[in-house]
């Protein structure tokens, strides 16, 4: 009788162990991301209000489709956040085709939108997917005040040589060593310029430095409403120092096909005019990124 009882207990324990092993396998399978839709998608943005708005568009659209989303906004500039994107700490990030291509391929000869996008897809690490580029552009550009433009007949970058005396560029500190900073200006146009770091991404401090004459020209994004609001002049770039720069989402493997489709729908609807309007709400109306994003997604029928 004791032998039978012992045998029965052993069988029960063995069965329980098998069930436990099965549960463990299931948990491990879930934890390792077999069902990517159940994972948290980390959405990041640059330390730039426009990037934050676009990232909020991504985040809210994914949440509306029942994805779990974590926001990691205003991380910093490309030299800071791209490491987190590449190592998988951030799963989705709004980027810009030309500057990102130059980050991965500094010596690229691509300049036109299709060429830049194609090379960007090829240059991306295997762990990342370049989703569809939006029609919207937010181009780095050199700008000057209307007064300086008229005084020295400035309409394109080569005309900067018309300015006598020291020439100083104002921009985020990263620009000092980037291809569109003083190095690129010298290599592409043979013009020497000093550099003053202004850490506001072409914002109010940069505009003030231009107006006060502390810098003669500055890098401001073309979708920034401050260009029109302050009557600034965007200098033409005949040698293509600034690459085509479309808004483009960069995604990790955490985004399944459905999530990618959701983000691609946003990109398809985001034109340059739409982006400028979104940016204007942030700069001129001081509206929060979340509020701006919700209204736009609802107006477009995307949530």
**All domains in the chain, ordered by first residue:** 39-137+244-299 (3.40.190.10), 140-234 (3.40.190.120)
Q: Are 251 and 263 in contact (CB under 8 A)?
A: yes
Burial class (CB in 10 A: 0-12, 13-18, 19+), 172: buried
Residue 197's SS3 state is strand
> Model confidence over 49-106: pLDDT tens digits?
999 999 999 999 999 999 999 999 999 889 899 999 999 999 999 999 999 999 999 9
Taking each helix axis from N to C terminus, what angle separates 289-299 and 49-64, rounded to the nearest 10 degrees?
50
The mean of the pLDDT values for the chain is: 89
Q: Are 202 and 221 in contact (CB under 8 A)?
A: yes
Instruction: Locate the DSSP E strands across 123-209.
Output: 129-130, 140-145, 168-171, 194-197
> Model confidence over 120-168: pLDDT tens digits?
999 999 999 999 999 999 989 999 999 999 999 999 999 999 999 899 9
Strand partners, 140: 221
Rounded to two decimals, the pTM is 0.79
> Model confidence over 220-269: pLDDT tens digits?
999 999 999 999 999 999 998 999 999 999 999 999 999 999 999 999 99
The whole-angstrom separation of Cα 157 and Cα 193 is 12
| Count of C-beta atoms within a 10 Å radius of residue 275 | 23
Give backbone dihedrals phi and psi of 212, rounded to 5 degrees, phi first.
-80, -10
Residue 134's SS3 state is coil
pLDDT band at residue 279 using 50, 70 and 90 as cut-offs: very high
Q: Exposed e or buried b for every residue in 238-253, given b needs 16+ CB within 10 A?
A: eeebbbbbbbbbbbbe
């Amino acid at each position: 009788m004791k032998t039978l009882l012992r045998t029965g207990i052993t069988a029960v324990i063995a069965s329980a162990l098998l069930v436990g092993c099965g549960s463990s396998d299931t948990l491990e399978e879930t934890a390792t991301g077999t069902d990517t839709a159940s994972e948290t998608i980390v959405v990041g943005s640059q330390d730039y209000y426009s990037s934050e708005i676009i990232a909020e568009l991504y985040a809210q659209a994914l949440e509306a489709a029942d994805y779990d989303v974590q926001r990691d906004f205003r991380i910093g500039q490309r030299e800071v956040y791209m490491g987190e994107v590449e190592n998988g700490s951030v799963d989705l990030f709004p980027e810009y085709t030309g500057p990102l291509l130059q980050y991965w391929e500094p010596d690229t000869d691509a300049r036109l939108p299709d060429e830049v996008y194609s090379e960007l897809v090829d240059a991306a690490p295997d762990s990342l997917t370049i989703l569809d580029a939006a029609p919207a552009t937010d181009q780095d550009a050199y700008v000057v005040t209307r007064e300086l433009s008229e005084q020295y007949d400035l309409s394109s970058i080569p005309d900067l040589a018309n300015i006598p005396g020291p020439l100083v560029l104002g921009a985020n500190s990263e620009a000092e060593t980037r291809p569109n900073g003083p190095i690129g200006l010298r290599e592409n146009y043979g013009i020497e310029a000093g550099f003053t770091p202004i850490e506001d991404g072409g914002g109010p401090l940069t505009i003030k430095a231009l107006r006060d004459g502390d810098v003669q020209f500055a890098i401001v994004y073309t979708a920034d409403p401050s260009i029109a609001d302050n009557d600034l002049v965007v200098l033409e770039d005949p040698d293509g120092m600034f690459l085509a720069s479309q808004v483009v989402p960069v995604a990790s493997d955490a985004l399944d096909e459905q999530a990618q489709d959701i983000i691609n729908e946003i990109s398809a609807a985001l034109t340059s005019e739409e982006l400028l309007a979104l940016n204007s709400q942030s700069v001129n109306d001081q509206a929060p990124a979340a509020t701006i994003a919700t209204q736009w997604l609802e107006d477009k029928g995307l949530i």
